Structure 1
Amino acid sequence: MSDADPDPGLEAPDVVVDALGRLCPLPIIDLARRFGEVPVDGTVALLADDPAAAADVPAWCRLRGQRFLGARDLPTGRAYLIRRTR
């Protein structure tokens, strides 16, 4: 988990982007392509098993001015939760 909400798993995301099995930079590209579907103040969950996503997702959020809520482990990979701020 990261700096943010107590448990990013408590909230059902508005959009789920399944990037399991895809390697860098594809999970971030998939996230960027689908991000417009998320309403402002909504959330998106990026499912990824690429180890680079642990650094890439928070960096993408900082660069895009979005809020990284944290991550939780899945049976395969992790779910990264992001809140759309604008």
Structure 2
Amino acid sequence: MQQDKHPDYRAVVFRDRAAGYAFLTRSTATSGETIEWDDGETYPVVDVEISSESHPFYTGKARTVDSEGRVARFERRYGGADAEGT
């Protein structure tokens, strides 16, 4: 690796305010805010909108909203099953 060309890779806390969840990881993300972690050290904190704790796919709260139905819409547009034989 070339020196002085890559961003600083360090420990950073990512905080999901919607879920009230924070986790410590390594990243190149920067922030002006800091937080004192459980180990007594102070780390920069980056607020995120969605994490695995609040994302519907990971929490099991994902829903598919299909008010009309794809099959019904296809049949309405292209004649449906009864139009095949005629």
Task: Please report the TM-score for the alignment, with normalisation by the length of structure 1.
Answer: 0.21
Larger Rg: 2
Q: Pick the structure with more helix per residue.
A: 1
> Which one scores higher on RCO, CA 8 angstroms, separation ≥ 6?
1
Instruction: Give me the TM-score of the superposition, normalised by structure 2.
Output: 0.21
